[in-house]
Amino acid sequence: MKNRDLLIGFAAGAAAAYIAKEVYENKQTLYPADDVLKKVKQSFKEEGPIDGSWIFMKTEPYHQHAVKTEVYKGGITRHRDDELEQYEFLADAYTGAVLEVTKS
C-alpha cells in the first residue's frame, strides 16, 4: 500500500466524521424551558407583562403543507384591560421559531 492511498483514506474518513458530527449537532432539539419558552416569553413581554407560562417537555410531530418537523406546545397567560387572555403556541423544537400562535 502506498502512502498516498493511506493519506487519501485518512482524509476521506476525517471528512466523513466531520460531516456526521455537523448533521448530528443540527438535529438536536432545544431544551424546552430554557431555550424555547424563554424566547416566546421575551416576545410577549414586549407587548406587556405576562402572568404565567407553560410548555410541554415532549415534542409532537407537526405537519402543515410541505413542512414536517417536531414542535413544542406551550402557552402564555396575561391580563389586558382587566380580562384574562390565554395564548397557545407551537414552536419548532430544533430552531425555537414560533410556527403558530392562537388565542384561546
Residue with cell 396575561: 78
Q: What residue ranges of the chain have pLDDT lower than 70?
A: 1, 10, 17-27
Backbone angles phi, psi at 81, to 5 degrees: 55, 45
Alpha-carbon torsion 43, 48, 49, 54, what sign? negative
User: Cα separation of 58 and 39, whole Å?
Assistant: 18
Alpha-carbon distance of 90 to 33, in angstroms, equals 13
The pLDDT of residue 23: 59
Residue 86 confidence (pLDDT): 94
pLDDT confidence of residue 30 = 75
Write out the three cell numbers for 35: 431555550
Compute the residue count for the chain: 104
